[in-house]
Chain A
Amino acid sequence: MKFQIEDVTVYFPYDHIYPEQYSYMIELKRALDAKGHCLLEMPTGTGKTIALLSLITSYSLSKPQSPIKLIYCTRTVHEMEKTLAELKLLHNYQIKHLGPQARILAIGLSSRKNLCVNPTVLAAENRDSVDAGCRKLTASWVRAMAAENPNVPTCQFFENYEKAASAAVLPPGVYTLQDLRAFGKEKGWCPYFLARHMVQFANVVVYSYQYLLDPKVAGIISKEMQKESVVVFDEAHNIDNVCIEALSVSVRRQTLEGATRNLNRISQEIDSRKNLFHKLGPKPTYAVGLFHGRFKATDASRLRSEYNRLVEGLALRGNLPITDTWLSNPALPDDILKEAVPGNIRRAEHFLHVLRRLVQYLRGRLETDNVEKESPVGFVASISSHAGIDQKTLKFCYDRLHSLMLTLEITDTDEFLHIQTICDFATLIGTYARGFSIIIEPFDERMPHIPDPVLQLSCHDASLAIKPVFDRFQSVVITSGTLSPIDLYPRLLNFHPVVSRSFTMSLTRDCICPMVLTRGSDQLPVSTKFDMRSDPGVVRNYGKLLLEMVSVVPDGIVCFFVSYSYMDGIINTWNDSGILKEIMQHKLVFIETQDVVETTLALDNYRRACDCGRGAVFFSVARGKVAEGIDFDRHYGRLVIMFGVPFQYTLSKILLARLEYLRDTFQIKEGDFLTFDALRQAAQCVGRVIRSKADYGMMIFADKRYSRHDKRSKLPSWILSHLRDANLNLSTDMALHIAREFLRKMAQPYDKTGGSDRKTLLSQEDLEKMGDGSVHEMLY
């Protein structure tokens, strides 16, 4: 269908549109007009993605004089593929109606692991080794060697791509990762480098958050994006955590040991350059074969030319061939590139000495028996006095290491992750004086008898990582199914949205049934509050609740617990008291563990059990992998039980430091932030079961604290609007009764378009008939 929003003709690939999608588009259009940032909350299953894509592409089509670029950030590769598939549909529709002038180029960009087509490289198991494998074949010096010596392996796809040079372009169209691979195979060009090249020219780019938020990556990939871009962060309810993680580093004993090994190897490399004749001595630690081409007189001169480059400043690095760049500066991109590297680390040996001293110092700091907390300023001062490294030197560590590794022509970068972490850490503490703190813990608090010292540099200010994005791009759209309370995000990320709105879902029937369960069947309150959680009564009541529910709910049930340790404890108790066995009579039980492979297997079997009618329960943890990325739609999740309020571990030193920072800097109260964070996790968990309007599911919040207004009111409005007063303070048996009624009601056939009084699907005529006003009336 085709309709008009103010001056923009919107092309929408479906015959009908939900009213909330329509008003979502109106708000989005206003934000684009104002060239400002916006914050939009709309429940999942209402077609956010297609509404976004269709409006932004239509907007850009209707203003051909100033085309805008769309940068769409997703969390997972799976979501990326889904988005591109939707876009393809939309694109075909637009071409059908507008002809060739609607042509756009849209690509997805992912890591080498997902894009590589070279079978030998792909054989590696993880991302880092695929990257390293690729570099081994495509680094400029390897290729130069191959030119002389045909025995040196190179990547055929990359060679072809280089040969095609500027002719290597993608014709307009929408390319999913799959399409890119197919195209690359057909043409014999490397899809990864082709995609990276085409990013500058594409109208729509879909990639992961990291490409924009993590300054290490952003510098390479997203450097050349134009200002007239719209950046969309989809499923952005955790965006503050992503920002913080991008700038946080933790150093353990293993890291330091690895770093020492790395340093030894680098110094061997350097020595070998210096003394050509000693080089051929026994050096069994690495593959000599790879490096045999480099024993030439040019080696010494290369180190010298590097020195000169460093004098001129690091910015020159931009001239390096595309394959050689791998990680850029973790600091803000334009912060330090213009300065020259300080003199004391320009020579490779000197730099190595600095790093050795730094590692030595950190090792000394880890040998502590007490928890220590320090600010970056104090830490830098202490490094300066103990190890003799000043702040400016620290700041340049990352770039200097990068440059050194290029010079030494090290291709197996995955081996060098430890020393990279150390340099990353050094640069961050050298760069930022505020918003960070350094916490050294000699052991994990939950297991005080096992020494596991860890030094953490934790970022408290989410706005640091995202600031360049807000500054650089014209519009940034942050959207998700759960952004409540919507006024907190601008404060956390420190920006001023021109539009911030929350939309509810228009439903043909009441297909979600949230309940707050406060009491067990014996009328005693249930809660995971610290003083109550190990009470046998509470544990038994929770078990009873689940036991009753498995007998009335068909197919899949998902349970979320507040933490792994709590889940382990409660399942043990249930096992001892025989509750687990009784549950197994009705449904199979699957448990999420911290092991990804195990969990994937469990999920797979869970789905099979749901499919074949056996029924299954999945025990999972809020904030775990499952809670974030896995959907339990349709029969895979008819009921989700949230056992307790998923507060963060409040005794964690990092959390305390962050809370303190938030209070001092943004005037956000500790309690407010904790509740907000817990409730968004809870909403995220229960939102897993509803993925479309035709779906239905129940949600039980099993904790007495949910009945309090301050907690409950922080849930997203699409849940709150279905949370009737009668369902606020239930005991197990009442909940059971409601569940029975609900499931029976939902099993009845229903009219999908909604009755005349509750219009939930709008056709083109409907939209033409009504002005903007009536839509608003309908929704609010």
Chain B
Amino acid sequence: MNNGGARRMNGGGEEDDDEDYVNGDLDAWERTYTDERSWESLQEDESGLLRPIDNKALYHSQYRRRLRSLSSTATAARIQKGLIRYLYLVIDLSRAASETDFRPSRIVVIAKHVEAFIREFFDQNPLSQVGLLTIKDGVAQCLTDLGGSPESHIKALMNKLECSGDSSLQNALDLVDGYLNQIPSYGHREVLILYAALSTCDPGDIMETIQKCKKSKIRCSVIGLAAEMFICKHLCQETGGTYSVALDESHFKELILEHAPPPPAIAEFATANLIKMGFPQRAAEGSISICSCHKEAKVGAGYTCPRCKARVCELPTECRICGLTLVSSPHLARSYHHLFPIAPFDEVPPFSLNDPNHKLQRNCFGCQQSLLNPGNKPGLLVVCPKCKGYFCLDCDIYIHESLHNCPGCDSFRHSKADKE
């Protein structure tokens, strides 16, 4: 960069300028604009002064907002949720995805967070399945079929990250519609589109495709990477999905993870249904058998379908031979918490800590760490509305996002039972 600057300083000549433009190269000083964006993380207050960045409080407040928005819909009305989801993740690999306004480039950021999302998704929805689609050169391609194995999806995606050409929303929707129409009626059909481009180059009338998606009850959500597009907003509104645009990388991560917990079921679709499932046993270690999914001979570590005795490698899945849905009981149990989420904890104003009544609660009920910041200043903390236990912020997040049980409530209930 310095060399480029020096050359320019020495009067490298106007001809060079022109050549640069023809080649589409950026000048050195332009590169500084696009490469280093140190100013972006700075924040100004009203008078233009730089504001110190308090990441933790900021992060926590964002988290709480998200929690509130989720729980306000869930706990209040105890809304039915689609636990068996069939989600197609559409990744835009058009020219626009190679832009570098996200570091190092949009597509790398997308891939990174898609990986995290897929893991999170299966963690939260063990009964669900994901498929991957890409849009490239105006054509939509299926990368992986619907399946329950995070590893295979991630592996498939990481191999195909070249971006080129235009992007076509309609082609992607058509393809998804074709796949999702075949799935059984109890499953919830969803599409999550990660859209980098700002236009869509379609072969036909996209409005018809949107109506088709609406008719087949596919919930389409879009996360944009650059700006709000009318057609995406329209698509989400019509099909009941959400549309959001990422401000930066961390915001993008937040947005994509918002799609991990199951959305409320579409009303007319949410009829009670009995589903036949098999709970296969884990095969004995060391036994050699041919698995039905990879058609390979494998040693140990597999499951046997209770109906047709075929061998599968991973759960949950669908038996290749008899078509039975195969799950394990922990999977079902893990999905369960979405129906009965724990209430969000209330924030406690710091001064009430000095109240004599609360003197005892100086430690977090969860991790037993001191709730006071160094220097004996009270930090932020939260309280469970049921058991009145105090928790630190880290425990708050852990309880709501991973544990899904309040240690306070559970232990009090037990102690009560003991007394009786």
A and B assemble together: yes
The CA of A527 and the CA of B117, in the complex, are separated in Å by: 49
What is the CB-to-nearest-CB distance from A400 to chain B, in angstroms, rounded to a whole number?
59
What is the CB-to-nearest-CB distance from B245 to chain A, in angstroms, rounded to a whole number?
3
For the complex, is B101 an interface residue (Cβ under 8 Å from A)?
yes
CB closest residue in chain B, given A610: B230
The A-contacting residues of B in range 224-257, CB under 8 angstroms, are 224, 226-232, 244-247
Cβ-defined contact, B247 with A615, below 8 A: no
Known: A612-B207, A613-B200. A744 touches B246 (CB 8 A): yes
For the complex, is B30 an interface residue (Cβ under 8 Å from A)?
yes
> In the complex, what residues of B have CB within 8 A of residue A375's CB?
none
For the complex, is B80 an interface residue (Cβ under 8 Å from A)?
no
> In the complex, what residues of A have CB within 8 A of residue B205's CB?
612
The residue in B21, B231, B232, B247 that gathers the most chain A C-beta atoms within 10 A of its C-beta is: B231
What is the CB-to-nearest-CB distance from A741 to chain B, in angstroms, rounded to a whole number?
8
Known: A521-B30, A522-B17, A733-B33. A743 touches B228 (CB 8 A): yes
The CA of A733 and the CA of B226, in the complex, are separated in Å by: 16
Cβ-defined contact, A554 with B201, below 8 A: no
What is the CB-to-nearest-CB distance from B347 to chain A, in angstroms, rounded to a whole number?
19
The CA of A614 and the CA of B204, in the complex, are separated in Å by: 11
Cβ-defined contact, A554 with B226, below 8 A: yes
What is the CB-to-nearest-CB distance from B259 to chain A, in angstroms, rounded to a whole number?
16
CB < 8 Å neighbour of B226 from A585, A737, A740, A745:
A740
Cβ-defined contact, A613 with B246, below 8 A: no
CB < 8 Å neighbour of A614 from B202, B232, B246, B247:
B202
The CA of A615 and the CA of B202, in the complex, are separated in Å by: 11
Cβ-defined contact, B226 with A613, below 8 A: no
Known: A611-B230, A733-B30. A748 touches B247 (CB 8 A): yes
For the complex, is A9 an interface residue (Cβ under 8 Å from B)?
no
CB < 8 Å neighbour of B198 from A522, A612, A615, A748:
A615
For the complex, is B218 an interface residue (Cβ under 8 Å from A)?
no
The residue in B207, B224, B228 that gathers the most chain A C-beta atoms within 10 A of its C-beta is: B228
For the complex, is B144 an interface residue (Cβ under 8 Å from A)?
no
What is the CB-to-nearest-CB distance from B229 to chain A, in angstroms, rounded to a whole number?
4
The CA of A611 and the CA of B198, in the complex, are separated in Å by: 13
CB closest residue in chain A, given B235: A613
> In the complex, what residues of B have CB within 8 A of residue A743's CB?
226-228, 245
For the complex, is A596 an interface residue (Cβ under 8 Å from B)?
no
CB closest residue in chain A, given B246: A744
The residue in B17, B198, B231, B247 that gathers the most chain A C-beta atoms within 10 A of its C-beta is: B198
> In the complex, what residues of B have CB within 8 A of residue A745's CB?
247
What is the CB-to-nearest-CB distance from B214 to chain A, in angstroms, rounded to a whole number?
16
CB < 8 Å neighbour of B199 from A540, A587, A737:
A587
What is the CB-to-nearest-CB distance from B221 to chain A, in angstroms, rounded to a whole number?
14
What is the CB-to-nearest-CB distance from B183 to chain A, in angstroms, rounded to a whole number?
27
Cβ-defined contact, B198 with A552, below 8 A: yes
Assign chain B's interface to a size class: 20 to 34
For the complex, is A553 an interface residue (Cβ under 8 Å from B)?
yes
Q: Mark A731-752, 1 if CB is under 8 A from B, else 0.
A: 0011001001001111111000
Cβ-defined contact, A737 with B33, below 8 A: yes
Is chain A's binding surface mostly helix, strand, loop or mixed?
helix
Cβ-defined contact, B227 with A744, below 8 A: yes
What is the CB-to-nearest-CB distance from B105 to chain A, in angstroms, rounded to a whole number?
15
CB < 8 Å neighbour of A747 from B27, B199, B207, B224:
B224
Cβ-defined contact, A613 with B227, below 8 A: no
For the complex, is B206 an interface residue (Cβ under 8 Å from A)?
yes
The residue in B202, B224, B230 that gathers the most chain A C-beta atoms within 10 A of its C-beta is: B230
> In the complex, what residues of B have CB within 8 A of residue A552's CB?
198, 226-227
Cβ-defined contact, A740 with B101, below 8 A: yes
For the complex, is A91 an interface residue (Cβ under 8 Å from B)?
no
Q: Mark B188-231, 1 if CB is under 8 A from A, else 0.
A: 00000000001111100111000000000000000010111111
Assign chain A's interface to a size class: 20 to 34
Known: A540-B21, A614-B199. A554 touches B33 (CB 8 A): no
For the complex, is B130 an interface residue (Cβ under 8 Å from A)?
no
Known: A613-B199, A615-B198. A555 touches B230 (CB 8 A): yes
Cβ-defined contact, B21 with A553, below 8 A: no
What is the CB-to-nearest-CB distance from A724 to chain B, in angstroms, rounded to a whole number?
10
> In the complex, what residues of B have CB within 8 A of residue A614's CB?
199-202
The CA of A733 and the CA of B31, in the complex, are separated in Å by: 10
CB closest residue in chain A, given B224: A747
For the complex, is B392 an interface residue (Cβ under 8 Å from A)?
no
The CA of A635 and the CA of B228, in the complex, are separated in Å by: 9
> In the complex, what residues of A have CB within 8 A of residue B245's CB?
743-744, 747-748
> In the complex, what residues of A have CB within 8 A of residue B246's CB?
744
CB < 8 Å neighbour of A554 from B17, B199, B207, B244:
B199
For the complex, is B169 an interface residue (Cβ under 8 Å from A)?
yes
CB closest residue in chain A, given B96: A551
The CA of A611 and the CA of B96, in the complex, are separated in Å by: 20
What is the CB-to-nearest-CB distance from B51 to chain A, in angstroms, rounded to a whole number?
17
The CA of A521 and the CA of B28, in the complex, are separated in Å by: 12
Cβ-defined contact, B198 with A551, below 8 A: yes
The CA of A421 and the CA of B161, in the complex, are separated in Å by: 70
The residue in B200, B205, B207, B227 that gathers the most chain A C-beta atoms within 10 A of its C-beta is: B227
Q: Mark B95-118, 1 if CB is under 8 A from A, else 0.
A: 010000100000000000000000
Q: Mark B331-355, 1 if CB is under 8 A from A, else 0.
A: 0000000000000000000000000
Q: Mark A168-185, 1 if CB is under 8 A from B, else 0.
A: 000000000000000000
Cβ-defined contact, A586 with B17, below 8 A: no
Cβ-defined contact, B230 with A613, below 8 A: yes
Cβ-defined contact, A613 with B247, below 8 A: no
CB < 8 Å neighbour of B230 from A522, A544, A634, A744:
A634
Q: Mark A610-624, 1 if CB is under 8 A from B, else 0.
A: 111111000000000
What is the CB-to-nearest-CB distance from B273 to chain A, in angstroms, rounded to a whole number?
34
The A-contacting residues of B in range 283-325, CB under 8 angstroms, are none
> In the complex, what residues of A have CB within 8 A of residue B27's CB?
521-522
> In the complex, what residues of B have CB within 8 A of residue A638's CB?
227
The B-contacting residues of A in range 588-624, CB under 8 angstroms, are 610-615
What is the CB-to-nearest-CB distance from B394 to chain A, in angstroms, rounded to a whole number?
27
> In the complex, what residues of B have CB within 8 A of residue A553's CB?
198, 227
> In the complex, what residues of A have CB within 8 A of residue B198's CB?
551-555, 586, 615
CB closest residue in chain A, given B233: A635
The CA of A638 and the CA of B245, in the complex, are separated in Å by: 16
The CA of A746 and the CA of B201, in the complex, are separated in Å by: 24
> In the complex, what residues of B have CB within 8 A of residue A740's CB?
101, 226-227
> In the complex, what residues of A have CB within 8 A of residue B101's CB?
740
The CA of A743 and the CA of B229, in the complex, are separated in Å by: 10
Known: A733-B30, A733-B33. A635 touches B230 (CB 8 A): yes
The CA of A737 and the CA of B169, in the complex, are separated in Å by: 26
What is the CB-to-nearest-CB distance from B241 to chain A, in angstroms, rounded to a whole number?
14
Known: A615-B198, A615-B199. A554 touches B30 (CB 8 A): no
> In the complex, what residues of A have CB within 8 A of residue B244's CB?
747-749
Cβ-defined contact, A747 with B33, below 8 A: no
The B-contacting residues of A in range 365-381, CB under 8 angstroms, are none
> In the complex, what residues of B have CB within 8 A of residue A734's CB?
33
> In the complex, what residues of B have CB within 8 A of residue A610's CB?
230
The B-contacting residues of A in range 550-564, CB under 8 angstroms, are 551-555
Those 7 A-B pairs whose CB atoms lie nearest each other, nearest first: A613-B231, A747-B245, A743-B227, A635-B230, A747-B228, A615-B199, A613-B200
24 A-B pairs with C-beta separation under 8 A: A521-B27, A552-B227, A553-B227, A554-B230, A555-B230, A586-B198, A586-B199, A612-B231, A613-B169, A613-B199, A613-B200, A615-B199, A733-B34, A740-B101, A740-B226, A740-B227, A743-B226, A743-B228, A743-B245, A745-B247, A747-B244, A747-B245, A748-B244, A748-B245
Binding site for A on B (CB under 8 A): 17, 21, 27, 30, 33-34, 96, 101, 166, 169, 198-202, 205-207, 224, 226-232, 244-247
Given contacts A555-B230, A744-B245, 17 further A-B contacts (CB under 8 A): A521-B30, A551-B96, A551-B198, A553-B227, A554-B198, A554-B229, A585-B166, A586-B198, A612-B206, A613-B169, A613-B232, A635-B229, A740-B227, A743-B227, A744-B246, A745-B247, A747-B245
